[in-house]
Amino acid sequence: MTIDYHPNSNFNKRLVTFKIRSSKLLNIMWRQRWIYLLILPTVIYFLVFKYGPLWNAQIAFRDFKPLLGVFDSPWVGFKHFEAFVTSFYFNQLIGNTLIFSVAKLILGMPLAILCAIALHETWLKRFRTFVQTTIYLPHFLSWVIMFGVLLVVLSPGNGLVNDVIKRFGGEPIPFLTSPAHFRWVVILSDIWKETGWSTILYLAALLGISPELYEAAAVDSATPIQRIWYISLPGILPVIMLITLLRMGHILEAGFNQIFVLYSVPVYSVGDIIDTWVYRQGVLQFQFSLATAVGFFKGVIGLVLILIANKIAKRVAQQGLF
């Protein structure tokens, strides 16, 4: 490779265009100065309150000793990551975690969207307000309370569901302690509790669609289904895409609070997830470095998935994040 020093070389041209471009860039930036000023406090906030802890999170690569502090604790590289990845139940933990989080996403999301559309479509105004307010309330029930409810509904002794099964001559099913059924209990109870809550967001999105579009559809005498298919759904698609993308980033979060309350020894094999393992191994035994390392592990997986999902979203629907 030779380097061309000729005065009219490409290099100089590029330099010139770079100068022009950068002055253009500066120009644009100057015009947008108010926006930079607007976001400045939040950026500072992020540097202090989000990156500050992340800087401390280097304990994932150290053997954290409180007396030595974060920065003087001995460096151990990937020891904690290894401890997690080579642990006895690693594959099962990842599998269970993925099953729960993916199932909650692909079963829960369409239902929430459906509810939002139904609420948006209905003509009964009072009914809508009532339904809307009611279905979002279960979000406030803690999982401890939900466990009590599930016990009443599902107990093989005197639970409602099993009463019905017994009445039809069936054998009672111990839903909460049977490995064959436990995953469904987790997934469906999560949908039960959270669908109403996630409906809010889609409803807000539906309300952001310009009424003119619906008026035009009415003029063209579109059927309700057509209206939903060609106006409502495309109207909230950006939000749906965004939420799917973000959920991809947290694919290894399967709902610690729920599992921790609902699971029991007989269903560990189908219920134990990464976070419950970390709780038993890390937090209870003063292994904060390990807990932080697992957090990073989840972040890396999330990062990879969100990058892929972003690519796909951009290509398919021009709806990427960056």
Partner 1 sequence: MKNWKYVLIAVVLVSTQLLAACAQEPAAPTAAPEVAATVAPVEPTAVPEPVDITLWAMATVTEAGPPPDDWIAYDRILEEVNVNLKYEILPTGSDGEAKLNAAAAANNLPDFMQMVSASNDPRGALYNLVQLGLIAQVDDMLALMPERTQKHYNDPLALSLSTFDGHLYGLPEPPPIPRREGLLIRKDWLDKLGLAVPTTPEELMAVAVAFTEQDPDGNGKKDTYGLGGFLNGDGMGTRFDFIMGAYGVAGMWDFDDAASFGLNVRNEKYPEALAFFNSLVEAKVIDPDWPTLKRDDFRARWKQGLFGIMWEDFAALSNKSNYTPFDENFPDAEWVPIPAPKGPYGDATYGVYTGRGQIFAVSQKAADEGKKEAIARLLEWMATDGYYLLGFGEEGVNFIIDANGNISTEGLDPTKAYTAAEFQPFTQMRNQLVFYNSTQEIAARYPNWTTINGRTMQPLTYLTFYQSQPWVDGRGIQVILPPANAADFLRYYTEGIVQFALGQKEVSDENWAEYLAGLDSLGAVEYEASAKQALIDAGLLK
Partner 2 sequence: MLRVRTRDAIAFQIGVAIFLSIILFIILIPLWRVIVTAFVPLDTYTREGIPFFLAPWDWTVEAFRQLITHSLFPRALLNSFIITGLGTIISLLLTIPMAYGLSVKNLPGRNFFMILILFTYLFSPGLIPVYLLITRMGLTDNFLAIILPPAVSVYNTLVMMRFFEGLPDELREAAALDGANEFQILWNVMLPLSKPIILTIGLFYAVYFWNEFFTPILYLNDHDLMPLPVLLRNILISASFNEYVEYDAFSSSALESLKAAGVLITMLPMLAIYPWIQRYFTKGTLVGGVKE
* DSSP H helical ranges for 265-287: 268-271, 274-281
Q: How far is the CB of 201 from partner 1 (least distance, A)?
A: 24
Segment 32 to 61, residues that bind partner 1, using CB under 8 A:
none
Cα–Cα distance, 119 to 123 (Å, whole number): 9
Tell me if 277 contacts partner 1 by CB under 8 A.
yes
By rule CB under 8 A, what string of x and - marks binding of each residue 106-145 to partner 1? ----------------------------------------
Tell me if 177 contacts partner 1 by CB under 8 A.
yes
Q: How far is the CB of 227 from partner 2 (least distance, A)?
A: 9
Phi-psi region of 69 (alpha: psi -120 to 50; beta: other; left: phi over 0): left
When the beta carbons of 243 and 267 are compared against partner 2, the nearer one is: 243
* DSSP H helical ranges for the chain: 10-31, 33-45, 51-56, 79-85, 90-121, 125-136, 143-154, 160-167, 179-207, 211-219, 224-227, 233-249, 256-262, 268-271, 274-281, 288-317
Q: How far is the CB of 315 from partner 2 (least distance, A)?
A: 17
Q: How far is the CB of 105 from partner 2 (least distance, A)?
A: 14
When the beta carbons of 69 and 224 are compared against partner 1, the nearer one is: 69
Residue 145 structure tokens:
């309370």
Residue 302 contacts which entry, partner 1, partner 2, none (Cβ below 5-8 A, type-dependent): partner 2
Torsion angle, CA of 61/62/64/69, rounded to 10 degrees? -110
Neighbour-count burial of 80, counting CB atoms closer than 10 A to its CB (0-12 exposed, 13-18 middle, 19+ buried): buried
Tell me if 147 contacts partner 1 by CB under 8 A.
yes
Q: How far is the CB of 63 from partner 2 (least distance, A)?
A: 13
Q: Which of 146, 159, 155, 232 is nearest to 189 (CA)?
A: 146
Residue 196 contacts which entry, partner 2, partner 1, none (Cβ below 5-8 A, type-dependent): partner 2
* Sole window of 1-9, 154-162, 219-227, 239-247 interacting with partner 1 (rule: CB under 8 A): 154-162
Please report where in the chains the tokens 């989080």 appear, as a residue.
101
Tell me if 265 contacts partner 1 by CB under 8 A.
yes
Q: Give the binding site for partner 1 (CB under 8 A).
A: 64-67, 69, 87-89, 147-148, 151, 155-158, 172, 174, 176-177, 179, 264-266, 268-269, 272, 277, 280-281, 283-286, 288
